[in-house]
Structure formats: structure tokens, C-alpha cells
Chains A and B, each alone.
Chain A
Amino acid sequence: MKETRLGEFEEVILLLVGILEEDAYAFKISDEFEAQTGRSVSIGAVHSTLNRLSEKGFLNSEMGASSPERGGRRKRIYTITALGHRVLTEAKDFRVSLWNQFPGLANG
């Protein structure tokens, strides 16, 4: 899993892209990140991660619609690819399997 490994931040961003659906562009994602985690993050940091995830093939992107508060500029909307989905699932399964082996909390 060397190239497809996800960092914690990457995983959260990937999930947020999934949650936000057609609103998944850098500003909204960073806004949502701050709302959900209470941690502040710069748009640049989010953008850089989105860019990296796209390079790894977990995200696709295309230019979307423009809006007046953006000065008429378009936004880049990100969507999760099939590979991205699989990596997210693997990450989750891996955690679950670890939780199941954790004696203090294993239910059984």
C-alpha cells in the first residue's frame, strides 16, 4: 500500500469531497473542515492536498459554474474516483479490523 496509503488529513479531505458532492471545491472543503473538526486550515493547504490526491488518482476534477461572490470566476469541483472509493473503504476496513483486535473494546 505504498502509493495508495492515506494520511489522516488526506482521508478527511477525501471524505469531505464525498460528503459535499457538487459543492466540493477548495474553499467549501476548507470551510467544512473547520466546521466539522474545529481545526483551522488554510485554503492553500486543502488545495495542495486535493492536488496531491488527484495526482494519486483518488480524485477527478472539472471546472464548474461561476458565481457573483467569486467575481464571476469558475470553481474546480472535485469528485471521488472508483480508486478513491476503494482506498477509503480499505482504510476503514483496516481500522475496523484493528478495533476488533483491540482487547479492551472488542465486543465478544
Chain B
Amino acid sequence: MTGTSGDIPDLVCARCDKPLEMRKVEASYLGQTFPVELPCCPSCGFVYVSEELASGRMLKVEQALEDK
């Protein structure tokens, strides 16, 4: 992976060497599914979750679900 530029990720799949594209994916946790758009590799389907997302929104969602 390389860095990002602005809001549009300028990311390349390390395995396939292809630029990632924003695609609809489903994030699931503890039985709840969230349709979101995240950078994906068009070749192998790898989904990129930034550190900011993992330790921000996504963590809050996980904690809220664990708390239920």
C-alpha cells in the first residue's frame, strides 16, 4: 500500500499491483451487517481499512455492539 492523497485514496494492492477502487462491501460484526464503501482491489478483492477507520468509527461500532 502507498499513502493517500486527500479524500480519494491513492492506494495500490501490494499483491496485484493494481490501484484500489471504491466498492460496496459488507462489514459484519456480532450478527449485524453494514453496507459501506471501502477501497478494494479489483483483482483479488482485498479490502483496505485505514488505521483511522479501524480505531475510529469502526471501533465505536464494535464497542456499541459488544455493549448491547
A complexed with B: no
Residues of B at the A interface (CB closer than 8 Å) are none
Residues of A at the B interface (CB closer than 8 Å) are none
